[in-house]
Amino acid sequence: MSKRIIIVGGGRVGHHAAAELVPDKYTVTVVERDPEQCSSFPGHLAHEIVGGDGTDPEVFERADPASAAAVLAVTDNVETNLAVCELAKEYSEDIWTMVRIARDGEQDYAHLGHVDNVIYPPAIAAKVAVERVEANLSSSS
């Protein structure tokens, strides 16, 4: 299985995702439309940074989705993220896709055939906060 990951969206979530995908384990390609974000994205976290709109097939193709194992669509725009996942599945039905959502109630996008997983950063942060509170309170009792 390929260890290539495409991250569409080089902002805070994309940056943190790339940092967690240990560079010696995964080859990360970041697609980012903002030239400033492209130039400031830490080079050691990405094998390649592709500048342009990730929903543009020509731009997306430069990230080589046919050889990627996964696409993380983590821009701050849900419609963009959904379009990226749909485009990824057009290149490979086997590619695993993740869409970042922005608002409560959007978790239902998981029923779409081109979305394999949904992430909602506020819910993830809340879960981690609760886990840490519970761990701290149980260890101090």
Residue ranges of domains in the chain:
4-139
Which two three-digit tokens encode residue 72? 């993380």
pLDDT digits (tens, 9 = 90+) for 17-36: 999 997 678 999 999 999 99
- The confidence score (pLDDT) of residue 110 equals 65
3-state secondary structure of 70: strand
Residues 104, 110, 113: CA angle, nearest 5 degrees: 150
DSSP symbols for 86-137? HHHHHH-TT-EEEEE--STTGGGGGGSTT-SEEE-HHHHHHHHHHHHHHHHH
Global pTM value: 0.88
Task: Give me the half-sphere count of Cα atoms (radius 13 Å) on the Cβ side of residue 91.
Answer: 24
Q: Does 2 score more than 80 pLDDT?
A: no
pLDDT digits (tens, 9 = 90+) for 52-74: 999 999 999 999 999 999 999 99
Which two three-digit tokens encode residue 23? 């560079």
* Residue predicted with more confidence, 121 or 79: 79
CATH class as words, domain 4-139 = alpha beta
Strand-pairing partners, residue 5, are 28, 70
pLDDT digits (tens, 9 = 90+) for 72-100: 999 999 999 999 999 999 999 899 999 99
Average pLDDT of span 12-21: 93
